[in-house]
A and B are shown apart, each in its own frame.
Chain A
Amino acid sequence: MIKVTIDDIEIEVAEGTTIMNAARMIGGDIVPPAMCYYSSLPGTGGKCRTCLVEIAAGSTKDPRPMPKLMVSCSTTVQDGMIVKNRTSEKVIENRAAVVEFLLINHPLDCPVCDQAGECDLQDLGFSHGKEGSRYEEEKRTFEPIDIGENIKLHMNRCILCYRCVHVANELTDQRVHGALHRGDHTEISTYIEKAVDNEFSGNMIDVCPVGALTDKSSRFKSRIWFLNPMNASCECKKCSGKAVVWMFGKQVYRVSVRQDKYGEVEVEDGKPNWICNECRFDKKDVSNWNIEGPRHIDRHSVISQGHYEKPNPLKNATKNIE
């Protein structure tokens, strides 16, 4: 076990842990934001540069500070490392710059985007961005395309986190989509239209931090905050069958994976609970599902507002004591 200090909080972690995971062990506000890193997908991380942190001391052996900001998702901790996240002005400033970079080609069409309300980029812009942009030029644009029977790709909204590429690597034998071109013309696409038809392809929608990949069976049906998320399960031979159904009255509008507070799929016994396309796109009747109860959505954004939850007796008890 080695000791690392993040924003003046000391924690002991196993060797080989990344700064990001050490921060997540502490939890709360000191966790750096992540747009591309996804713990269940090996190989992700390092691309969006939003999780940059300052390293004030490299290790006990070599306590020199690192000259550059480091990405916390891929940098492993050393014994005696001192990391500055929110306490470093340099970090806040550079993170604001990354937000600005991510937004210069983003259409900001949140009013018509299905991801609005559960969008990582909205949250990031709110927590780390500056108001306004200095970008005066024309944005690069693409036409929305169908990359599979069930998935719509709005390349304009994409921030090129490559998570969908990694999820396809992880869950399918042969990936049929990827990045084409380079520079700011890079686009996620398939060579052949509608080529994505793997039975786990729907998980691309859930790993997408923005509204670039959306579910064609539920798009434009309802704003996310009008729906009630419910933990539900079903008997499925292909997948775990553990999902969240998003309901309005008795109607199922949308099915997604169960996500934790970092927007990542829940992991049970070391296995991520990905769901198959049949559960996601076809089981749109409440009778398909065994509803377990309301789902707690642990996010800062509007989506967590106005939902009823299971009463927490402990919470009230402490209130009464006070």
Chain B
Amino acid sequence: MGRKLLLEHIDVSGIETYDVYRNHGGYKSVEKALKTMSAQEVVEEVQKSALRGRGGAGFPTGMKWSFLAKPEGVPRYLVCNADESEPGTFKDRFLMEKLPHLMVEGMITSSYALGANTAYIYIRGEYMFVLDILEKAIAEAYAKGWLGKNILGSGYDLDLHVAPGGGAYICGEETALLESLEGKRGNPRMKPPFPAVKGLYGCPTVVNNVESICAVVPIINIGADEYLKIGTEKSSGTKLISACGNIARPGVYEIELGLSVEDFIYGDEWCRGIANGKKLKALIPGGSSVPILPAHLITSTAAGERRYMSYESLSDGGFASGSMLGSGGFIVFDEDQCIVRNTWNFARFYAHESCGQCSPCREGTSWMEKVLHRLETGKGNMRDIDLLAEINKKIEGNTICPLGDAAAWPVAAAIRHFREEFEWHVTHPNDAITRNYGMLKTPSITL
């Protein structure tokens, strides 16, 4: 059994209430940070822990914090990105729903490190019930003196607010999130300037994922040196993986980074193999935006080495034969699943969620969706497959924010690894319409 840092007390009943949480070592990191450490020391500790952003991009959190501009007389903000909307990712919801006080504790410690006196949790609009849970936890924290003026007599003030989004995937992009938080249309901003210099209301802002902020708590509690011992050299610590798809036991698991992919899929502690005794066909290891991996590249890399659940091992081989750890949305496909249909489903999602600001993404994502729909329903031709590859090359890298890349990568990878399946749809149009890959009997599309 791997070490658990975030979900250590998840099975304790009533852990979502203040008293139980406090009895199980809650708010210790706040005590330690505010009483014994300077803000700079907390930042250095997080930097030393080599914690990488858990939202998807994997940018070192400590480094992000160190970039924060600190001009005199200008407020600084910490914003928690809880707009988790990536298909296949549901770890943040689990954390906030089950351990709301861990979230609040992480926010206090992190805000203290950054010198922010106001912090926001921007939560996905569909998570309204989680918002209620968080607000209850925040009210308890205020009542017990963990929030508000002069926390623990240290002279440090913090106000924490929860703001719900309107249900747009794009608002998970940090600058679009800030626009939305300011009450505007959630369109990503041009970068530079980065939020660390000019963010919320034009002030220096740090935007971090829920899990990154929660991970600060154990880092401060056990110390960076201890934290570094967990995981691998380049991927320290633990990570929540939300496993779903055709596995025997889907759910949210906390793993030590560096666990082998094979163990994770087939191990008894985790997914317990493919459901119904089927064979493994493909894997998306980090949420819908990352490239899909075919069966032969899942448990071992192209070079024949074992594949591990870590930032460096999953991206081994680049996009040609690797993928990304991303946000930890682990989607497993068995032999019955249709890759074309799945790719179309993702393309439909991105076409729907593109903000409509820059032209390659706005027009390109819906074009890809239409071409994939045609292929999936047996109306495509061989030219369409090349056309798709061509379109996604022209979207990738040419857009304001990473949504364009996120829309292009899964399509590119599906064509790269499963081209014969696309061709099968062209050569067997009737079968493509009538076959049913274990999904809904009648496709919800007009044929």
Residues of A within 8 A of B (CB): 45-50, 52, 67-69, 71, 74, 94, 97-98, 101-102, 104-105, 134-135, 137, 140, 159-160, 162, 178-179, 181-186
Contact = CB atoms under 8 A, between A and B. Distances in A.
B399 A49 contact: yes
Interface stretch (B148-156, B233-241, B361-369): B361-369
Given A46-B190, A47-B359, A137 B367 contact: yes
A162 B397 CA distance: 22
B354 A98 contact: no
Interface of B: 168, 170, 185, 190, 351-360, 362-367, 370-371, 374, 387, 394, 397-400
B190 A101 contact: no
Contacts of A104: 363, 367
A219 to B, nearest CB: 26
Nearest to A105: B363
14 contacts: A47-B357, A47-B358, A67-B397, A97-B398, A98-B359, A101-B367, A102-B359, A104-B367, A134-B387, A160-B356, A160-B362, A182-B353, A183-B354, A184-B356
A46 B359 contact: no
A252 B356 CA distance: 38
In the A-B complex, the 5 residue pairs with the closest CB atoms:
A186-B356, A97-B394, A101-B363, A184-B366, A183-B354
Nearest to A135: B367
Given A48-B358, A67-B397, 7 more contacts: A74-B190, A97-B360, A97-B398, A160-B359, A182-B170, A183-B362, A184-B365
A101 B366 contact: no
A179 B365 CA distance: 19
A71 B168 CA distance: 26
Contacts of A47: 357-359, 400
Contacts of A134: 387
Contact of A184 (B363, B374, B399): B363
A98 B364 CA distance: 9
Contact of A94 (B170, B356, B371, B394): B394
Nearest to B187: A179
Contact of A52 (B168, B363, B398): B398
B398 A94 contact: yes
Most chain B CB within a 10 A radius of its CB, from A105, A135, A140, A184: A184
Contacts of A52: 398
Contacts of A137: 367, 370-371, 374
A134 B367 CA distance: 10
A45 B356 contact: no
B392 to A, nearest CB: 11
A48 B359 contact: yes
A184 B168 CA distance: 15
B357 A160 contact: yes
B398 A102 contact: no
A52 B398 CA distance: 8
B342 to A, nearest CB: 20
A98 B398 contact: yes
A46 B185 CA distance: 17
Contacts of A178: 185
Most chain A CB within a 10 A radius of its CB, from B190, B359, B397, B400: B359
Contacts of B358: 46-49
Contacts of B371: 137
B356 A101 contact: no
A184 B361 CA distance: 9
A136 B400 CA distance: 27
A98 B360 contact: yes
A170 B241 CA distance: 47
Given A48-B359, A69-B398, A183 B366 contact: yes
B400 A179 contact: no
Contact of A183 (B185, B353, B394, B400): B353
Nearest to B396: A68
Given A49-B398, A69-B397, A98-B398, A179 B359 contact: no
Nearest to B363: A101
A308 B375 CA distance: 56
A49 B354 contact: no
A49 B362 contact: no
A50 B398 CA distance: 10
Nearest to B352: A183
Contacts of B185: 178-179
A68 B351 CA distance: 23
Contact of B362 (A45, A67, A69, A184): A184
Contacts of B362: 101, 160, 183-184, 186
Contacts of B397: 67-69
Contacts of A159: 359
Nearest to B357: A47
A104 B400 CA distance: 20
B170 to A, nearest CB: 7
A160 B358 CA distance: 8
A101 B359 contact: yes
A46 B353 contact: no
A181 B356 contact: yes
A179 B399 CA distance: 19
Most chain B CB within a 10 A radius of its CB, from A47, A98, A159, A182: A182
B395 to A, nearest CB: 8
Nearest to B371: A137
Nearest to B170: A182
Contacts of A105: 363
A102 B357 CA distance: 12
A102 B400 CA distance: 16
A32 to B, nearest CB: 14
A104 B370 CA distance: 12
Contacts of B366: 140, 183-184
Contacts of A69: 397-398
A179 to B, nearest CB: 6
B312 to A, nearest CB: 20
B376 to A, nearest CB: 14
A102 B394 contact: no
Contacts of A101: 359-360, 362-364, 367, 394
A184 B353 CA distance: 10
Contacts of B394: 94, 97-98, 101
Given A94-B394, A183-B351, A49 B360 contact: yes
A182 B364 CA distance: 14
A134 B390 CA distance: 11
Nearest to A52: B398
Contacts of B360: 49, 97-98, 101
